[in-house]
Every structure is written in structure tokens, then in C-alpha cells.
């Protein structure tokens, strides 16, 4: 197991993603940020915090995006092979007609995103759905799904595992686990 | 995290981690029931038979709705309109249904132990929806969920179970569950409706005084007088029962504190519960029914793993 992106580098990537999102979605009142449990929620919390810091410094009229959490446990395509306890789902706003930015830690096969889209559409019909990920493993996609905003592309073997982990000091870092 | 059991036969066979897992999963299903689309695809490839050898309104509808909200296929079977009336045995009936590729059986039967018998003889996952005077585990789970939701936790909570304890599977399942989760339990009713050795057998306190019991408790779970299971005279009249053990507004007002009133339904209005109590703000009877769907979804989901059929 080795650290692929340490906390310092991770926060720089988060800052760049926050800049990208603010520039790409000027209509922030019509755009919502939705983190996918569990890693995606950590990333979306950090992006939300970074955007709030930027707005705080510049005193613009730009508002931070509304921010929620999506749990895909009940939508997994392998749900009955392995019964998992669900995480919290929290979407305290309507997504009808909005731009939804889905946030995940690692984009790998695309299965999580497919399940997240299924879950999301049970809450309403968004105008568009965008995908923002901290790390992309572009060689291993099993579905026609690509991210719109990528923090860093990482080239891996399919047997590798990339895992977002929070250390004892509460700092997030991305770990690479090889067999 | 997984349940320690392949079937839900009773609360007796669950441990406190199982109960916590079911209750926390039910919280997430309760969220599902508030959405525009109140349905998840989790059990899309699962077929469930609801086998009801005894009458039921709430439990049957609640299970059926829970199954549909999980996208399972369901078949309903009522003994009164089936070949069971022609003398087919329980095991034959179930084996015939299972040969049509059914994965899970939800079962209510008037004989205590019927689901335990089935669990030994068939490969499907079995959920007990009430067996005779033994257990009604999903009712106890939804009662616990409702208590937790209303008061914050089960640990240290003072719960009174009032009425026909003798004939009540709801009482037995509730006692098992509440004791496992650290609540204090008092059972209260006329001596003829309380089993003699319940205090030593199940670790509860017994009271024959309704007013003292209500003054002690945080939550009163009031049970139905089960006239259909009583084959001898255990109290002189319903009117007398109401006077001695029925809960009225006047009685609640005399307590100087607000307790939570629960009832598993169907209510005998004017017998164990007066209408001005059943329909009051202190009563969470309709929330119990609402929570029943979420709790049953949690049980079905957690027992639906492929390994359960292997």
C-alpha cells in the first residue's frame, strides 16, 4: 500500500476542481453538488468548503451550490451477492430541472455512476447531470461513462485498488493498494 | 454487516447487533418512502409469497407494500380461499408454491411454531408474520423503531405492555426485543391475562395496577383483548375490563406527565383504549403503521442475499 496523492497534493487538486466548477456553472442557484457515499461525500465536502472559502475572500454575489449526499446501496447491480448496510441519503432540495454535479472519489468501471444515475432519477428529472471525480482510472471502464471534471488521471492495473482514506488527523489522502 | 440468521422466526433468535442493523436499515428505507419515486430496485429478481393462514389487514398489506417498494414479485395466499380448505398439509402447500421458484416466504399461522417447522424443511428464507401465541417479530421491530424515533433511544426506556399478555405474540416479541436493547419492561393487566411465571421466565416486572403502571412508564404499548383466542371466561365483561384496565383521557390527564401511547391494532375502541386517547396527539398508532412498511423492507432486504437460498 502506498500513498498515491498525499493530503497536500489532494487539497491542491480540490482547489483546482472548485475553480473549474465555479467557472463552468455560473448559474449556481440552479446547480447542485451531490457526493456519492462514502468517498464521494468526502470529496464533495472538500469542494464545497473550497468554494465557500473562495466566495468568502472575493465578496461576489455568487452563492455556493446546494449540497447533498447520495447512497447507492439499494441500486447496486450486485446487490444480492453481498447484502450491504445502507449509508445516509440526504437530498434536502429538489433536483427537478437543475444541473446536478455528481461527485465521486474514484471513477473505475463506471458501475457506481450508473447506479447513482438510477438513484438520482427517483428524486426527479434533472436538466443535466455532470460528473466530477478526484481520480480517474481511464483504462478500466465497463460502461460508456466519462467524467466532465477530473482531478487526476491515474494509470493502474485492474487488480489494483485506489482508496480514499481519512487519517487520524482528519486529512484525506488517496492510497494505491497493489496485489 | 450481515444478520446472524437466514430466517426471521422470532426476536428470540436475534442478537442486539441484528436488531440495531434492522432498525438502522429501516431508517434509510423510511427516507425512500418520502421520495417522489417510493421504490428501489434491490429485490427485482426476488419472488415472495405471502402465506396467510390467519386473518390480517395491516400486516398483510404492510408486507405486500414493502415487497412492492423493493421491486419484488409477490403472490398472495389466503388459506380460507385455497386448497388448504380441502385438507392439503402446510408442507405440501409450501412445496408446491416453491416449485414455482419462490425465494422467500412471509407466513402467518394460528399454530405456534409453524414457521420454525417450515424453516427446517424448505430452502427459502422464512419471515414470521405472527405464529399463534408465540411471536410477531416484525411488529416488535416496528414498535421499537417507533419508540426510538419518538423518544430517541431504547436504552433505559421504561415501557409498559398492557392488557392481554397471555394470548399476545406481540407482547412476547416486544419483551424479548426491549430486554435485548436495554429497556425496562413492566407488564400490566388482570391476573387472569398475565402468565404466572412471566417475571422469572422473561425478566419483566408484573403489575396489576394500571394507574401506577402508567405513572411509571415513558411508553405504554396497549394490546388488543384477543377474544378469538380465549376459550374460557377470563374477565366478566368488556365493560368491566374497560373500567378496570381501559385507558381513558381522564386517566392520562391525572398523571401529570405526557406518556406515549402505542397499539399494534386493530383497536377495540372503548375496551382497552378509549377513542379520546386513541385519536389524541400522544398516540403514535398511525406512525407505527407507517414505520411498519420501512421496517419490513429492511427485514426483506437484509434476508434476501443469494447465500440464503444456497
Of A79, A85, A89, Cβ closest to residue B21: A85
Cα distance from B87 to chain A (closest Cα, Å)? 37
Rounded to an integer, what distance in angstroms lies between the CA atom of residue B139 and that of residue B169?
A: 9
Please indicate if any CB of chain A lies within 8 Å of the CB of B84.
no
Cα distance from A50 to chain B (closest Cα, Å)? 29
- Give A76-115 pLDDT, tens digit per residue: 988 878 888 999 999 999 999 999 999 999 999 999 999 9
Give the pLDDT of residue A96: 95
- Segment B40-62 mean pLDDT: 93
Please indicate if any CB of chain B lies within 8 Å of the CB of A78.
no
Q: Which chain B residues are within 8 Å of A124, Cβ to Cβ?
A: 36
Distant-in-sequence, close-in-space partners of B19: CB < 8 Å, separation ≥ 6: B11, B141, B144, B177, B180, B181
- Give B238-297 pLDDT, tens digit per residue: 899 999 999 999 999 999 899 999 999 899 999 999 999 999 999 999 999 999 999 999
Kindly determine whether residue B304 and residue A88, on different chains, have CB atoms separated by under 8 Å: no
Query: What is the number of alpha carbons within 13 Å of residue B269 lying toward its C-beta?
Result: 5
Kindly determine whether residue A124 and residue B36, on different chains, have CB atoms separated by under 8 Å: yes
Kindly determine whether residue A122 and residue B304, on different chains, have CB atoms separated by under 8 Å: no
Q: Is B239 left (phi over 0), alpha (psi -120 to 50) or beta?
A: alpha
Give the pLDDT of residue B310: 37
For residue A59, name the pLDDT band (cuts at 50, 70, 90). low
Rounded to an integer, what distance in angstroms lies between the CA atom of residue B169 and that of residue B180?
A: 17
Pair B43, B33: CB distance under 8 Å: no
Of B35, B41, B43, Cβ closest to residue A118: B41
Kindly determine whether residue B36 and residue A123, on different chains, have CB atoms separated by under 8 Å: yes
Q: Which chain A residues are within 8 Å of B39, Cβ to Cβ?
A: 122
Q: Which residues of B167-203 are buried (b: 16+ CB within 10 A; e: fewer)?
A: bbbbbbbbbbbbbbbebbbbbbbbeebbbeebeeebe
Q: Is B164 left (phi over 0), alpha (psi -120 to 50) or beta?
A: beta
Cα distance from A78 to chain B (closest Cα, Å)? 9
Q: Which chain A residues are within 8 Å of B41, Cβ to Cβ?
A: 74-75, 118
What domains are there in chain A, each with its CATH number? 2-23+30-177 (3.40.50.2020)
Rounded to an integer, what distance in angstroms lies between the CA atom of residue A90 and that of residue A97?
A: 18
Q: What percent of chain B has pLDDT over 70?
A: 97
Strand stretches in chain A, DSSP E: 2-5, 31-36, 66-70, 99-107, 128-136, 149-153, 161-166, 172-177
Q: C-alpha cell of B76?
A: 398472495
- Give B67-86 pLDDT, tens digit per residue: 999 999 999 988 877 777 77
Give the pLDDT of residue B309: 41
Distant-in-sequence, close-in-space partners of A37: CB < 8 Å, separation ≥ 6: A69, A70, A71, A72, A73, A87, A88, A89
Q: C-alpha cell of A144?
A: 460508456
What is the ipTM score, two decimals? 0.84
Q: Dmax over Cα atoms in chain B, in whole Å?
A: 59
User: Is the pLDDT assigned to residue A60 strictly greater than 90?
Assistant: no
For residue B236, name the pLDDT band (cuts at 50, 70, 90). confident
Average pLDDT, chain B: 93
Kindly determine whether residue B40 and residue A122, on different chains, have CB atoms separated by under 8 Å: yes
Distant-in-sequence, close-in-space partners of A49: CB < 8 Å, separation ≥ 6: none
Q: C-alpha cell of B231?
A: 376459550
- Give A128-156 pLDDT, tens digit per residue: 999 999 999 999 999 999 999 999 999 99
If you measure CA to CA, which chain B residue comes closest to A92?
B35
Q: Which chain B residues are within 8 Å of A85, Cβ to Cβ?
A: 1, 21, 24-25
What domains are there in chain B, each with its CATH number? 11-134+290-309 (3.40.50.1370), 137-289 (3.40.50.1370)
Amino acid at each position: 500500500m502506498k500513498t498515491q496523492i498525499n493530503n497536500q497534493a489532494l487539497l491542491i487538486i480540490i482547489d483546482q476542481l472548485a475553480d473549474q466548477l465555479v467557472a463552468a456553472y455560473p448559474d449556481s442557484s440552479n446547480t447542485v453538488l451531490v457526493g456519492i457515499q462514502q468517498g464521494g461525500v468526502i470529496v464533495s465536502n472538500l469542494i464545497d468548503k473550497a468554494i465557500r472559502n473562495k466566495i468568502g475572500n472575493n465578496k461576489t454575489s455568487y452563492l455556493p451550490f446546494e449540497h447533498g449526499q447520495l447512497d447507492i446501496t439499494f441500486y447496486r447491480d450486485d446487490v444480492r451477492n453481498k447484502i450491504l448496510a445502507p449509508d445516509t441519503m440526504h437530498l434536502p432540495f429538489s433536483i427537478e430541472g437543475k444541473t446536478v454535479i455528481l461527485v465521486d472519489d474514484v471513477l473505475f468501471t463506471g458501475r457506481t455512476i450508473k447506479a447513482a444515475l438510477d438513484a438520482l432519477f427517483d428524486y426527479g428529472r434533472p436538466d443535466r447531470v455532470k460528473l466530477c471525480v478526484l481520480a480517474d482510472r481511464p483504462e478500466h471502464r465497463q460502461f460508456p461513462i466519462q467524467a466532465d471534471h477530473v482531478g487526476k488521471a491515474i494509470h493502474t492495473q485492474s487488480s489494483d485498488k485506489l482508496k480514499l482514506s481519512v487519517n487520524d488527523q482528519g486529512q484525506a489522502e488517496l492510497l494505491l493498494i497493489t496485489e | 454487516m450481515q444478520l446472524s440468521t437466514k430466517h426471521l422466526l422470532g426476536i428470540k433468535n436475534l442478537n442486539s447487533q441484528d436488531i440495531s442493523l434492522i432498525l438502522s436499515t429501516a431508517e434509510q428505507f423510511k427516507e425512500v418512502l418520502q421520495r417522489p419515486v417510493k421504490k428501489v430496485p434491490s429485490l427485482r429478481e426476488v419472488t415472495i409469497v405471502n402465506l396467510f393462514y390467519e386473518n390480517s389487514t395491516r400486516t398483510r398489506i404492510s408486507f405486500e407494500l414493502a415487497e412492492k417498494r423493493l421491486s419484488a414479485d409477490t403472490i398472495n395466499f389466503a388459506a380460507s380461499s385455497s386448497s388448504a380448505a380441502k385438507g392439503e398439509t402446510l408442507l405440501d402447500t409450501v412445496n408446491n408454491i416453491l416449485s414455482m421458484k419462490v425465494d422467500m416466504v412471509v407466513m402467518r399461522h394460528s399454530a405456534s411454531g409453524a414457521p420454525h417447522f417450515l424453516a427446517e424443511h424448505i430452502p427459502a428464507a422464512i419471515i414470521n408474520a405472527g405464529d399463534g401465541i408465540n411471536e410477531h417479530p416484525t411488529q416488535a421491530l416496528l414498535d421499537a423503531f417507533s419508540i426510538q424515533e419518538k423518544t430517541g433511544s431504547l436504552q433505559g426506556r421504561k415501557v409498559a405492555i398492557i392488557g392481554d399478555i397471555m394470548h399476545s405474540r406481540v407482547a412476547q416479541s416486544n419483551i424479548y426485543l426491549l430486554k435485548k436493547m436495554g429497556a425496562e419492561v413492566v407488564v400490566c393487566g388482570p391476573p387472569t391475562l398475565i402468565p404466572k411465571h412471566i417475571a422469572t421466565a422473561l425478566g419483566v416486572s408484573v403489575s396489576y395496577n394500571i394507574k401506577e403502571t402508567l405513572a411509571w412508564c415513558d411508553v405504554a404499548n396497549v394490546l388488543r383483548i384477543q377474544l378469538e383466542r380465549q376459550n374460557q371466561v377470563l374477565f366478566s365483561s368488556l365493560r368491566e375490563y374497560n373500567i378496570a384496565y381501559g385507558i381513558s383521557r381522564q386517566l392520562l390527564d391525572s398523571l401529570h406527565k405526557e406518556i406515549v401511547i402505542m397499539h399494534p391494532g386493530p383497536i377495540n375502541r372503548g375496551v382497552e383504549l378509549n377513542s379520546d386517547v386513541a385519536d389524541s396527539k400522544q398516540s403514535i398508532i398511525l406512525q407505527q403503521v407507517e414505520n411498519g412498511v420501512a421496517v419490513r423492507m429492511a427485514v426483506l432486504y437484509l434476508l434476501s442475499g443469494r447465500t440464503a437460498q444456497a
